[in-house]
């Protein structure tokens, strides 16, 4: 199979359509016959990263590459960056304002949920420049 | 447990017209924070929540959650019903608070099997 490439724009602060990129990728994976466990892990990881870009990054871009063995997802934003990545990775730690919590997010579980579901997670972040979250999920675990 | 039986137990209105009648709920998760829901990984699950916004339906979709119960008299918006029907997710609404609705379902057999 040739590599499937998709690019999505993640709009800033728009909770009505946040998650559409993840929903679209989920559909592609299901249509390709990828196992439900992998579809679910990919969906959770991508959706959390997409929501993070909406909440913290003023929106951003999602770039997705699917080949026969894996899916690679890059969620990039030009937001404020993450000051302390180790702290941000801890369950329950959040810098999201109350307005975000009222929307059902900002529990401080996003990055740890991504880590738990991705096979490879690499985060590049720079203060005042932005954050790039690279997620890879393999279709078959080694 | 099938959707109509759940509706009867917690005196809930079924808001979606289209859902799979064979859906058999084995486990449930009660939460208002969607990231907490996403840390939960059981299958054939039901979500009980007091949060009403489109991200509830999105979260259910990502988590393969088959049905959502809105508690404390909250009703899903028309746009949420349409989105749920498109994804085959059943939406229910009950006047019971989260604790009572969860307790009634737990007592009647939805107690976390389905891992």
* B80 neighbors B16 (Cβ within 8 angstroms): no
Is residue A8 over pLDDT 70? yes
Task: Check A104 against B54: CB less than 8 A apart.
Answer: no
CA A134/CA B6 separation, integer angstroms: 41
* Token pair recorded at residue B17: 């017209």
pLDDT in tens, B37-61: 988 877 789 999 999 999 999 999 9
Element (DSSP H or E) covering residue B3? helix B3-9
CA A15 to chain CA centroid, nearest Å: 15
Out of A47, A51, A104, closest to residue B53 by CB: A104
pLDDT of residue B113: 54
Whole-number average pLDDT of chain A: 93
Domain A4-138 belongs to what architecture?
Answer: 2-Layer Sandwich (3.30)
Higher pLDDT, A37 or A15: A37
Domain boundaries, chain A: 4-138
Is residue B99 over pLDDT 70? yes
Interface test with A, best of B34, B41, B56, B84 (most A CBs within 10 A): B34
- In CATH terms, the fold of domain B3-107 is 3.40.1390
CA distance A69 to chain B (A): 21
CA B52/CA A33 separation, integer angstroms: 32
pLDDT in tens, B56-92: 999 999 999 999 999 999 999 999 999 999 999 999 9
* Token pair recorded at residue B83: 């989105």
CA distance B27 to chain A (A): 17
pLDDT in tens, A60-107: 999 999 999 999 999 999 999 999 999 999 998 999 888 888 888 888
pLDDT in tens, A109-139: 899 999 999 999 999 999 999 999 999 999 9
Task: Check B39 against A113: CB less than 8 A apart.
Answer: yes
Local confidence band at B114 (pLDDT 50, 70, 90 cut-offs): very low
């Amino acid at each position: 199979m040739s590599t499937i490439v998709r690019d999505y724009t993640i709009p800033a602060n728009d909770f009505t359509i946040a998650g559409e990129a993840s929903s679209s990728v989920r559909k592609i994976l299901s249509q390709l016959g990828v196992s439900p466990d992998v579809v679910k892990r990919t969906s959770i990881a991508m959706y959390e990263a997409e929501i993070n870009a909406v909440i913290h990054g003023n929106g951003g871009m999602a770039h997705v590459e699917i080949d026969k063995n894996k899916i690679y997802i890059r969620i990039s934003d030009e937001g404020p960056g993450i000051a302390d990545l180790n702290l941000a990775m801890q369950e329950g730690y959040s810098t999201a304002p109350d307005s975000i919590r009222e929307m059902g997010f900002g529990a401080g579980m996003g990055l740890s949920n991504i880590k738990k579901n991705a096979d490879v997670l690499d985060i590049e972040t720079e203060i005042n420049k932005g954050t790039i979250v690279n997620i890879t999920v393999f279709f078959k675990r080694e | 447990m099938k959707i109509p039986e759940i509706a009867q137990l917690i005196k809930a209105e079924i808001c979606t017209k289209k859902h799979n009648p064979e859906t058999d709920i084995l486990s449930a998760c009660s939460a208002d924070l969607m990231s907490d829901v996403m840390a939960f990984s059981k299958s054939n699950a039901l979500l009980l929540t007091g949060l009403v916004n489109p991200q509830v339906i999105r979260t259910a979709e990502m988590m393969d959650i088959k049905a959502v119960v809105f508690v404390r008299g909250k009703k899903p918006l028309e746009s949420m019903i349409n989105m749920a029907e498109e994804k085959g997710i059943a939406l229910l609404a009950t006047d019971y608070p989260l604790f009572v609705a969860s307790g009634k379902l737990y007592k009647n057999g939805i107690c976390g099997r389905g891992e």
